[in-house]
Amino acid sequence: MNNKKRPLDKVKIDTRSMTGHLVDVSEIHLNVTQEVIITTEDKINLCLSEHLKRIERKRSWIAPFGILIAIVLTLVTSSFKENVLQLTADTWRAIFIIAGLICLGWLIRSIIEAIKSVKVEDIVEKLKKSSRKNRK
């Protein structure tokens, strides 16, 4: 058995034996190159722990969106009464409007963070960059 390794561009494939049995093949293209990253477990753990919170920000808009919907529906469908905690109807309406504005700000901030959040490709690129630094 020949254990010598040959570069991918010098690998020869006998296409005559394949084409005679399968179908009439006019041309074969070989595209099986891969990029391999070799690193240690501690570097992967460090990189993932640094980026975990940023990855979770992609879904951080869901809570403020749900709360804002509830507040808006309450404002639209309710007629506030004065007998709860001795607050006037206008005070209750103002409380819900202020809470809605706060939730709207929270939602906008969460959406911006979700758009800016790190992607898996960004983490892979960081691992590649750290390996390039170590080679130099």
Q: pLDDT band at 87, cuts 50/70/90?
A: confident
CA–CA gap between residue 94 and residue 21 (Å, rounded): 79
Question: Comparing C-alpha atoms, which of 57, 53, 56, 65 is closest to residue 106?
Answer: 65
Question: Comparing C-alpha atoms, which of 40, 50, 39, 46 is closest to residue 118?
Answer: 50
Domain annotation covers residue 95: yes
| pTM (two decimals) | 0.58
Quick: pLDDT tens for 28-85: 777 777 877 787 888 888 888 878 877 787 888 999 999 999 999 999 998 888 776 7
Domain annotation covers residue 112: yes
Structural domain count, the chain: 1
Q: Whole domain around residue 74: which residue ranges?
A: 39-135
Domain annotation covers residue 26: no
CA–CA gap between residue 106 and residue 57 (Å, rounded): 13
Domain annotation covers residue 31: no
Q: pLDDT band at 9, cuts 50/70/90?
A: low
Domain annotation covers residue 87: yes
Cβ–Cβ under 8 Å, residues 68 and 107? yes
CA–CA gap between residue 68 and residue 96 (Å, rounded): 10
CA–CA gap between residue 28 and residue 11 (Å, rounded): 13
Domain annotation covers residue 33: no
Domain annotation covers residue 55: yes
Domain annotation covers residue 80: yes
> Which DSSP letter does residue 9 get?
G
